[in-house]
Chains A and B, each alone.
Chain A
Amino acid sequence: MIIGYLDPGTGTLIVQAVLGGVAGVAVLVKTKGRRFFKRGGTESTPTSGTEAGAIAEEDHEEPIATGSAD
């Protein structure tokens, strides 16, 4: 990614959208980063349909529920 004056961290940027609540998750779903939902060469998307879900699935755990920031 493009690193500016401050490295915002790719992963943390994605989390940031999740923390915007339902609207943020909706934004995430629209990113072309959806291809990263795929894992292990499969074409399927994780059950939650969000990158947060993908992050959770990586370790074969239940997808993390994402609502508004707590």
Chain B
Amino acid sequence: MTDTPDPGSYRDPGSRVVLHNGEVYRMLDERALADWRRLSTTRFFAEGVAAGRIIATEPADAATSLVPGTWAGTLRHERVPVISYPYEWTFSMLRDAALLQLDLLEAALTEDMILKDATPFNIQWRGSRPVFIDIGSFERLEKGEVWVGYRQFLRQFLYPLLLTARVGVPFQPWLRGQPDGLTADQLRRMMGTGDLVRKGGLLHVALPARAERRYRDRERDVRAELKAAGFRKELIVANLRGLRKIVTRLAPDADTAGWDRYASGCDHVAVQRDAKSAFVAAHAATDPAAMVWDVGANDGHFSKLVAANAGYVLALDADEVVLDRLYRSLATAGTGNVLPLVQDVTDPSPGIGWRGAERPPLTGRSAPDLVLCLAVIHHLVIARNVPLRAVVDWLGDLRARVILEFVPPDDPMVLRLTANKRPHEVHRDYDERSLRHYLAGRFVIDAETQLPGGGRRMFALRPTA
């Protein structure tokens, strides 16, 4: 591993994250080092680390100049299994991350420290448990100082949540297209008058939108003015508590359901589930995988099944509604090794941000040892018109073992997908014979079995050397 600064860690001049020998280090300048020393003696920090809400961190005196710059000290952080981004999270994940941000900030204030920014990129996941990773964000609270991160909290936490809860628009595509978050003015234009006067709309959307417009071109040091006028941390706490009440009560808009009734609405799918589970469990257990991708995870049945014998499981699905339900069930159970991520495999997270490298694509953050591709192939080939050979090539390029369920062209679910398509609009090679032909070049079939009650077939595949 080379000593390259993390491409997403460049904004804070006083702190830089570096990967070195597979470990995560953070370089600190004099000021940041003083803040760390203060932080490391606080009670809220010790309690946060013990509860798994703040990333475990220790001084690492040996390596002080991993990257160019004038650094005064180095910290070593515990690694999270997979880095993920807010545009890949479900509604409840972003809400829980927002609550963690508010809780940590309020706790920090009691010991005269503050979080200098407020972005969900500072929060990561260990399965369904959020953990705050940006230790460099904690700094000493100067008397009379305002909460500088308030606007960022609005743009990257509250507004995306309001967009989904009040306007009924999924926030993920918006955050992917505009990772700095929605502006107050953008959200105000989308919200109806009724929404704007509801909880939070007036004070946190309409008022900031108008204030930003009014003071856009004014050269003023408002921080100094407020400080001189007697601003104090109790005012921040009052704001935080108000925000907490609003965020806690937000719920996802339930009208956007897609696949949430998929398994229960198809009798043959339910009947086959036991046989499918047995096949998956047997082949997942023979050679336990460090990293599993469950593509089209739906309700997470198979993610949970393989999690018992896997290091970590990414439950990937394009449907944020079913995935949100999965997240909530995992969070209730306290599952630590299944991470639900909103991901459309025909349009996966690209590299975005500065030079397209600040937030790498999913394949730059995780490499699977085992891929579950169950009842997905017909959606790719029939619904999304990806050629069958291209799907096999994609699986082959992942260089992982694959458990594949083939759904034949006469399956009721396939017929449903082709109901509004003319024969010439469907790839003609969507059949088992062609599948076997394409697989032959990329995989060895370790095992296969026919599922009861239809023509669906399970394959356990190993990539050719």
A contacts, CB < 8 Å to B: 1-2, 4-21, 23-24, 26-33, 36, 51-52, 54-56, 58-59, 64, 68-70
Q: Are B230 and A27 in contact (CB under 8 A)?
A: yes
Q: Are B225 and A31 in contact (CB under 8 A)?
A: yes
Nearest Cβ on chain B to A59's Cβ, whole angstroms? 7
* In the bound complex, CA of A29 to CA of B228 (Å): 12
Specify which chain B residues have a CB less than 8 angstroms from the CB of A6 in the assembled complex: 116-117, 148-149, 152
Specify which chain B residues have a CB less than 8 angstroms from the CB of A55 in the assembled complex: 207, 210-211, 214
Specify which chain A residues have a CB less than 8 angstroms from the CB of B218 in the assembled complex: 1, 10, 36
Stretch with Cβ within 8 A of A (4 or more), from B241-249, B254-262, B311-319, B388-396: B241-249
**Contact residue among B13, B202, B236, B245 (Cβ-Cβ distance under 8 Å from A64):** B202
Nearest Cβ on chain A to B48's Cβ, whole angstroms? 22
Q: Are A13 and B238 in contact (CB under 8 A)?
A: no
Nearest Cβ on chain B to A12's Cβ, whole angstroms? 4
Specify which chain B residues have a CB less than 8 angstroms from the CB of A4 in the assembled complex: 148
Most chain A CB within a 10 A radius of its CB, from B215, B216, B221, B224: B215
Nearest Cβ on chain B to A8's Cβ, whole angstroms? 4
Q: Are B203 and A69 in contact (CB under 8 A)?
A: yes
Q: List 19 A-B contacts (CB under 8 A).
A: A1-B218, A6-B117, A6-B148, A11-B211, A13-B223, A13-B226, A15-B208, A17-B231, A19-B204, A19-B238, A20-B236, A27-B231, A28-B226, A30-B229, A32-B225, A36-B218, A51-B211, A54-B214, A70-B200
Q: Are A12 and B150 in contact (CB under 8 A)?
A: yes
Known: A9-B212, A10-B222, A70-B245. 17 other contacts (CB 8 A): A1-B220, A2-B224, A6-B152, A8-B223, A10-B218, A11-B211, A12-B184, A12-B208, A13-B226, A16-B147, A20-B236, A20-B238, A30-B229, A31-B226, A31-B229, A69-B241, A70-B203
- Give me the 7 closest cross-chain CB pairs, A-B, nearest first: A69-B242, A20-B235, A11-B211, A30-B229, A11-B212, A10-B215, A19-B239
Q: Which residue of B lies closest to A66 (CB)?
A: B203
* In the bound complex, CA of A6 to CA of B234 (Å): 22
Specify which chain B residues have a CB less than 8 angstroms from the CB of A26 in the assembled complex: 230
* In the bound complex, CA of A36 to CA of B206 (Å): 19
Q: How many A-B residue pairs have CB under 8 A?
A: 151
**Contact residue among B116, B206, B239, B245 (Cβ-Cβ distance under 8 Å from A5):** B116
Q: Are A17 and B223 in contact (CB under 8 A)?
A: no
* In the bound complex, CA of A24 to CA of B230 (Å): 9
Specify which chain A residues have a CB less than 8 angstroms from the CB of B212 in the assembled complex: 9-12
Q: Are B211 and A14 in contact (CB under 8 A)?
A: yes
* In the bound complex, CA of A11 to CA of B211 (Å): 4
Specify which chain B residues have a CB less than 8 angstroms from the CB of A28 in the assembled complex: 226, 229
B219 sits at the interface (CB 8 A):
yes
Does more than half of chain B's interface fall in helix, strand or loop, or is it mixed?
A: helix
Specify which chain A residues have a CB less than 8 angstroms from the CB of B214 in the assembled complex: 11, 54-55, 58
B126 sits at the interface (CB 8 A):
no
> What number of B residues sit within 8 Å (CB to CB) of A?
53
Nearest Cβ on chain B to A3's Cβ, whole angstroms? 10
Specify which chain A residues have a CB less than 8 angstroms from the CB of B229 in the assembled complex: 27-31
Most chain B CB within a 10 A radius of its CB, from A5, A11, A12: A12
Q: Which residue of B lies closest to A10 (CB)?
A: B215
Most chain B CB within a 10 A radius of its CB, from A11, A31, A33, A51: A11
Specify which chain A residues have a CB less than 8 angstroms from the CB of B146 in the assembled complex: 8, 13, 16-17
B425 sits at the interface (CB 8 A):
no
Q: Which residue of B lies closest to A56 (CB)?
A: B210
Q: Are B235 and A23 in contact (CB under 8 A)?
A: yes
Q: Which residue of A lies closest to B201 (CB)?
A: A70
Specify which chain A residues have a CB less than 8 angstroms from the CB of B207 in the assembled complex: 15, 18, 52, 55, 64
**Contact residue among A14, A30, A36, A56 (Cβ-Cβ distance under 8 Å from B230):** A30
* In the bound complex, CA of A28 to CA of B151 (Å): 18
Q: Are B236 and A5 in contact (CB under 8 A)?
A: no
**Contact residue among B202, B234, B243 (Cβ-Cβ distance under 8 Å from A23):** B234
* In the bound complex, CA of A15 to CA of B243 (Å): 13
Q: Are B148 and A20 in contact (CB under 8 A)?
A: no
B355 sits at the interface (CB 8 A):
no
B213 sits at the interface (CB 8 A):
yes
Q: Are B152 and A17 in contact (CB under 8 A)?
A: no
Nearest Cβ on chain B to A15's Cβ, whole angstroms? 5
Nearest Cβ on chain B to A28's Cβ, whole angstroms? 7
Q: Are A16 and B239 in contact (CB under 8 A)?
A: yes
Specify which chain A residues have a CB less than 8 angstroms from the CB of B221 in the assembled complex: 1-2
Nearest Cβ on chain B to A18's Cβ, whole angstroms? 7
Nearest Cβ on chain B to A26's Cβ, whole angstroms? 8
